[in-house]
Amino acid sequence: MELADLQRLNERIAGCHACRLSEGRTQTVPGDGDANAELMFIGEGPGFHEDRQGRPFVGQAGKLLDDLLAGIGLSRAEVFVANVVKCRPPQNRDPQPDEIAACEPYLSEQIAGIRPKLIVPLGRFATQYFIPRATMGRSRGVVAQAGPWLIYPVYHPAAALRQGSLLEVLRDDFARIPQLLAESERPSAAADSAEDDEPRGTQMALL
């Protein structure tokens, strides 16, 4: 994706008032990283620190994400990190379905522009963006095809911080990412436009 296109998208996000989350934000958190990354991570939504800094995953969960990335030889600059919703939900509550729907065009534009080889949804909300009825128990660590996109859901780093037993699972799931990247190819630009005709989640097939 051209940097100028990404910047224009970020400006549109910054001016967005499509849902009530815009009322409480300090600033939008569109996402950041390499606009042509092969690997994209999608979290849930900004928290306190993200809302203040305008960058995703800069708090405790972000430190763990950095650490997990370092464990597979990657830095944040080499991947793209975004969220399902671009504004902080009040008191870090779950994003509501209408808020997710209002923000959906931005994430889908980011994905279509970046065209990553592999998308790693972090936690339930990002996973359900692709597989609406997914549970993390069933979906984590399982590679799936969602339209043209290869997805590989893992636990949210914040969940692993709350529940230590998930951390080992998360590390093991991350350890498979380099191999998955090596085995996969970028979807073609034609595949992106084909996706526009398909409602999300209709072409789900477990690999």
Binding site for ligand URA (CB under 6 A): 43-47, 50, 56-57, 61-62, 83, 158
For the bound state, the minimum distance from the C-beta of residue 189 to ligand URA, rounded and expressed in Å, comes to 28
3-14 vs 97-114: helix axis angle to the nearest 10? 170
* Least spacing, CB of residue 5 vs ligand URA, in Å: 22
Distance from C-alpha of 161 to C-alpha of 60, rounded to nearest angstrom: 8
Nearer to ligand URA, 61 or 131 (CB): 61
Residue with CB nearest ligand URA? 43
Q: Is the dihedral of CA 128, 133, 137, 143 positive or negative?
A: negative
Closest CA to 39 of 81, 102, 9: 81
Q: Nearer Cβ to ligand URA, position 69 or 187? A: 69
In whole angstroms, the minimum distance from the beta carbon of 13 to ligand URA comes to 14
CA–CA distance, 148 with 72 (Å, rounded to integer): 25
Q: Of 148 and 166, which CB lies nearer to ligand URA in the complex structure?
A: 166
Please identify, using beta-carbon distances, which residue of 50 and 195 lies nearer to ligand URA. Answer: 50
Phi, psi angles (nearest 5°) of residue 54: 75, 15
Local structure of 36: helix, strand or coil: coil
Least Å distance between CB 4 and ligand URA?
24
